[in-house]
Amino acid sequence: MAKICQVTGKKMMVGNNVSHSKRRTKRTFQPNLFDRRFYLAEEDRYVNLRVSAQGIRTINKKGLKAALDEAVKKGYLKSY
């Protein structure tokens, strides 16, 4: 499974490790992802999502249904 948040679209970024002598080597920054199960009250069922910490905060702020609808509209999620 890809390391991409299904709510916010956050994914792996690439940057540099910088040593004391300022030599640069490539490294990756992974998103803070969790596999979570959310209850969708409108459809009376559970939805399994792979979300980042920011995605969980977004769901708490907007509500699950609104966050999922926005994710589908932006293309981060096909269906739920």
When divided into structural domains, the chain yields a total of 1
The backbone torsions φ and ψ at residue 65, rounded to the nearest 5 degrees and listed phi first, read -60, -45
Tell whether 53 is covered by a domain: yes
pLDDT at 1 over 80: no
pLDDT, tens only, 36-63: 999 999 999 999 999 999 999 999 999 9
Mean pLDDT of 5-32: 98
- Flag whether 79 is in a domain: no
Asked if residue 47 is part of any domain, the answer here is yes
What is the DSSP annotation of 9-75? ----EEEEEE-TT--EEEEEE---EEEEEEEETTTTEEEEEEEEHHHHHHHHHH-HHHHHHHHHHHT
The CATH number of residue 52's host domain is: 2.30.170.40
Q: Which two tokens stand for residue 51?
A: 């979300």
**3 found inside a domain:** no
Q: Average the pLDDT over 63-67 and give the result.
A: 97
Q: Which domain range does residue 37 map to?
A: 13-74
- 4 inside domain: no
Query: In this predicted structure, what is the pLDDT of residue 80?
Result: 86
CA nearest neighbour of 78 among 20, 9, 19: 9
